[in-house]
Structure 1
Amino acid sequence: MIHKALEFLQDYLNKELKMTLALSEDSVVASSLVNPDGSVVESTQNKVVISIVNMEHETFVKSTQQYKSDGEHSYGKINPPIHLNLYLLITSNHSNYLEAYKRLSVVITKFQANPYFNKNEFSQMPDPIKKLTLEIFNIPITELSHIWSGIGAKYVPSIIYKMRMVTLEETKIKKEIPGVTGLGNTAKSS
């Protein structure tokens, strides 16, 4: 589900940047900025890059559904879904400094205009994602420095968004439990 959420945002931003800036090719990619060996990812040159810098388990939302009906007379025990908030680092990795901020500004205004995505308004949103919300996430400059050090890259124009919520759920039933089919009332009247 995480990859589907990233692909959705990548496609949405590619479409919006093409329309707004009259670009002929895709300019947004979901990727890390640096390969595991420390080299720069070539496909991120002159692109807006969406990277996940943190994932957080959303504990506010609790699922009370522990059983799933098979439609007949039995139920299956299931684990509750996991809800995640993703912290997205959106960078404008462009060789022209002003162009980098121009593209980053478009991204910010598009998310300002559409901070909430759902299936009703965005039919191309992939299943099983039902909704996503994005909000700018402010962090102190020292923490930002730690993020860039951890990535192993030099700072480029960027912003961090908190994306709520990606839900991960295994629908496989752990244990089947027979349902109640009737009451065997054998009480006798006197």
Structure 2
Amino acid sequence: MFLQLINFLKDDLNAFIAQKIGANGPFVVAANLNNILEKGEANLSKIIITIVNIEEEKMLKTPDPYTRVNSEITYRKPPVWLNLVCLFTFYSKSIDDFTGLDLLENVVQYFQTKPRVEKTNAVVPANFPAGLEEIRAEFVSLNYEQTNYLWGLFGGRYHPSVIYKLKTVPVDNADITPGGPPILNTQVSALHKAT
């Protein structure tokens, strides 16, 4: 699911930016930023999408694994709902290439116009990940200390970037186990001991 989601975002952002500026891309790539920084890609002047954290959405945790389907009770492990924290970074080796700031602005505009990305409002709806109803994006603001820590993980070389939390991505691979008919009524018999 993660790979489908990131590839969809990459393709949808490329189509969105191409429409806005009237030029062909690609403008956005999905990659591990650490690998790009280590290699020092000389010809790369693009937005790079990198997953920097995955966290569980505790508010959607379902404690009850039992559900009633028609007249049967089934046991099924509930899906795990996750949030993907994604870093959108403009990377360029050129010292005079500032076009990336416009590309970053286009990323912000994309999520500003589509805070809930659905198949119906996607630029490339055919690529929308199967199994998802929507992708909700929330802008994440880091303070200086958090920004310093994050970029320290990438070797300390800061590049202009924005962070979005992609909320409530389900991970579900649970099998359904039949449980049997529901208990509709109970009866208690008690014998009292004579004294």
Q: TM-score range with shorter-chain normalisation?
A: 0.7 to 0.9
CA RMSD, aligned part only? 2.7
> TM-score of the superposition, structure 2-length normalised?
0.80
Deviation of 1:23 (Å): 2.5
Deviation of 1:65 (Å): 5.7
1:128-170 CA distance string (max 9 Å, x none):
0111111210111111111111123611110111111111011
Within-5 A mapping of 1:54-69: 54-63=53-62, 66-67=65-66
What letter matches 2:48 in structure 1?
A: V
* Partner residue in 2 for 1:186: none
Match of 2:141 among 138, 142, 149: 138
What letter matches 2:57 in structure 1?
A: E
Match of 1:158 among 156, 161, 169: 161
Aligned mates of 1:48, 1:105 — CA distance in 2: 11
Contact 1:33 1:44 (8 Å CA) reproduced: no
Which consecutive segments of 4 or more residues in structure 1 shift more than 4 A? 41-44, 68-71, 180-183
* Partner residue in 2 for 1:85: 83
Contact 1:133 1:164 (8 Å CA) reproduced: yes
What letter matches 2:151 in structure 1?
A: W
What letter matches 1:105 in structure 2?
A: E
Aligned mates of 1:80, 1:164 — CA distance in 2: 17
Aligned mates of 2:10, 2:118 — CA distance in 1: 16
Aligned mates of 1:47, 1:102 — CA distance in 2: 11
Deviation of 1:75 (Å): 4.5
Aligned mates of 1:107, 1:43 — CA distance in 2: 23
What letter matches 1:45 in structure 2?
A: L
What letter matches 2:158 in structure 1?
A: Y
What secondary structure does 1:144 align onto? Answer: helix
Gaps of 5+ in 1: 184-190
> TM-score of the superposition, structure 1-length normalised?
0.81
* Partner residue in 2 for 1:7: 7
Deviation of 1:44 (Å): 8.6
1:149 aligns with 2:152: yes
1:29 aligns with 2:32: no
1:51-107 CA distance string (max 9 Å, x none):
111111100113366246787x65541111111111110011133441110111111
Gaps of 5+ in 2: 186-195
What letter matches 2:14 in structure 1?
A: N
* Partner residue in 1 for 2:103: 103
Aligned mates of 1:43, 1:177 — CA distance in 2: 60
* Partner residue in 1 for 2:193: none
Contact 2:78 2:174 (8 Å CA) reproduced: no
| Structure number, greater radius of gyration | 2
* Partner residue in 1 for 2:171: 168
* Partner residue in 2 for 1:188: none
